[in-house]
Chain A
Amino acid sequence: MTAMIQLSNVSKWYGSFQVLTDCTTQVAKGEVVVVCGPSGSGKSTLIKCVNALEPFQKGTVLVDGISVGDPKTDLPKLRSRVGMVFQHFELFPHLSITENLAIAQMKVLGRSRDEAHERGLKYLDRVGLKAQAAKFPGQLSGGQQQRVAIARALSMDPIAMLFDEPTSALDPEMINEVLDVMTGLAHEGMTMMCVTHEMGFARRVADRVIFMDQGHIVEDCTKEEFFGAPRGERAQQFLSKILQH
């Protein structure tokens, strides 16, 4: 099986503070990997290394065989092939939903306005929000905004999707509408790397679970192993805390 995303011995420092230590893992094509761990353990930093939103000092990251850290790599092009969904949605508030969906298709992929709108609306329909096309992000609920953000990423035809706590900023009643969209994607075979604490989602759709602590990947196993008998003490503590809810 070829790895769509391959991280090898990635280390990163903020000044003298080491955020990531020797992180090695991979996400195969079509695989869904959930990354969890306590706050501040480096999950966001790790996932941002995948599309070079964060530079790293040691190790290599390959996306579809292309080295992210190589200065010769065309980063905008590489990033345009990897979708990313953020905790705080990050829709562009000054653009309508349709424009949010179309802008990168037009400016980055060079698609025509008509084509970009058509594709955008197709994915908007997929996340069940076609009726909101003319609205602005500020007029939608958090859950709706996050679904638009997913549609926006999908309309770029990504080869993989990164999610950084996509439901953490949502009111409880809106979490499921977002998880449902993500579950649908996973079932269609999208390659996904998801930072999330939604263990129900992990149980349902993850192939593997990674547990991070203080910048280290301390568990990296199948979900059966992870939920069955996580070896590390920290992972056990973390799980017992999080599963109480």
Chain B
Amino acid sequence: MNYHWDWGVFFKSTGIGHEIYLDWFITGLGWTIAVALVAWVIALILGSLLGVMRTLPNKALSGFASGYVALFRNVPLLVQLFLWYFLVPDFLPESLQTWFKQDLKPSTSAYISVVVCLGLFTAARVCEQVRTGIEALPKGQSNAAYAMGFTLPQVYRHVLLPQAFRIIIPPMTSEFLNVFKNSSVASLIGLMELLAQTKQTAEFSANLFEAFTMATLIYFVLNMSLMKLMGWVENRVSVPGLIGSNGK
């Protein structure tokens, strides 16, 4: 291949203000993290609620949660994003519509759309993990808790959820990483996150390979760090005497 590699490109001026290309990547990484973290908080809270609902004896509540999961898991993420960004705002009340479409900066409205979309999409996946975790616990655990006089909310709060969340840390780690990877869809509605900045760098500088190598490297390091973080969390909350607790 007759390609002229130039790793110095990241320190060259972009021609816009005083920015060098590296600044673009840093801004992009900032947006990626901002999207993923907020979406993850939404997913974690909503998904846990839905996961609990799926295990409740109440048919209406568990039915609602199953319907939610079916809906959000079976429509492609990108389709969901376009719906949230292009369609849903049109159904908002007049005043909210003008606010969303005209008063907000384009990057802000794109940000809101992608965070809501990714949060609700991931919530469906978190819901299934939480449900699996709760269902994996022996029936005797909730029986014992009820037998001591716990109410249903107390059974979940003190007995089922603390155990379920420990069990599901490994699959939740991959959901957590998925949020970061999936956040790249934001580039398709014009949010300048990491992938969008990479494409822009490639176009402006013509150093396509360097740009994408850099993006690959950043995503890789980011995800490895998140895995380490989750491993640390798992260790922190591990229970002595249980399988997988490293004997601590």
B66 at interface (Cβ–Cβ under 8 A)?
no
New A-B pairs, 12, CB < 8 Å, besides A83-B147, A93-B163, A138-B241 = A79-B147, A79-B149, A81-B149, A84-B147, A88-B138, A90-B141, A93-B242, A103-B158, A104-B145, A107-B158, A135-B240, A156-B148
In the assembly, what is the distance between CA of A77 and CA of B148, in Å? 9
Q: Give the complex CA separation of A41 and B145 in angstroms.
A: 25
- Please, which residues of chain A bring their CB within 8 A of the CB of B154? 107-108
**A107 and B158 alpha carbons, distance in the complex (Å):** 9
Across the A-B interface, the 4 shortest Cβ-Cβ residue pairs: A138-B241, A80-B149, A90-B144, A139-B241
Is the pair A136, B240 in contact by a Cβ cutoff of 8 Å?
yes
Q: For residue B240, which residue of chain A has the nearest CB?
A: A136
Among B141, B147, B163, B245, the most chain A Cβ lie within 10 Å of the Cβ of: B147
Q: Known: A93-B242, A136-B241, A138-B240. Is A104-B140 also a contact (CB below 8 A)?
A: no
Q: Mark B140-173, 1 if CB is under 8 A from A, else 0.
A: 1101111111110010001100110010000000
**A56 interfacial contact with B, CB 8 Å:** no
Residues of chain A contacted by B148 (CB below 8 angstroms):
79-80, 84, 104, 108, 152-153, 156
Residues of A contacting B150 in the complex (Cβ-Cβ under 8 angstroms):
76, 104, 107-108
Chain A 142-167 against B: per-residue CB contact (8 Å), 1 yes, 0 no?
00000000001100100000000000
A86 touches B163 (CB 8 A): no
Least CB separation from A76: chain B residue? B149
- Rounded to whole angstroms, the CA-CA distance of A175 and B24 in the bound complex is 69
- Measured between beta carbons, the chain B residues less than 8 angstroms from A136 are 239-242
A-side interface residues toward B, CB under 8 Å? 48, 51, 53, 76-77, 79-84, 86-88, 90-94, 103-104, 107-109, 135-140, 152-153, 156
B residues engaging A (CB < 8 A)? 138, 140-141, 143-151, 154, 158-159, 162-163, 166, 239-242, 245
In the bound complex, residues from chain B placing their C-beta under 8 Å from that of A87 are: 140
Q: Is the CB of A51 within 8 A of B147?
A: yes
A103 to chain B, nearest CB (A): 6
Q: A92-B141, A93-B163, A94-B162 are in contact. Are A53 and B146 (CB under 8 A)?
A: yes
Closest to A88 in B: B140
Cβ A94 vs Cβ B149 within 8 A: no
Q: How far, in Å, is B243 (CB) from chain A's closest CB?
A: 8
Q: A79 to B146, Cβ gap below 8 A?
A: yes
Chain B nearest CB from A142 CB (Å) reads: 13
Smallest distance from the beta carbon of B156 to chain A beta carbons, Å? Answer: 12
A108 contact from B149, B240, B241, Cβ within 8 A: B149
Instruction: Give 29 pairs: A residue, B residue, CB < 8 Å, sorted on A.
Output: A48-B143, A53-B143, A53-B147, A76-B151, A77-B149, A79-B148, A81-B149, A84-B147, A86-B143, A90-B140, A90-B144, A92-B141, A92-B145, A93-B239, A93-B242, A94-B166, A104-B145, A104-B148, A104-B150, A107-B150, A107-B154, A107-B158, A108-B154, A135-B241, A137-B241, A138-B240, A138-B242, A139-B240, A156-B148
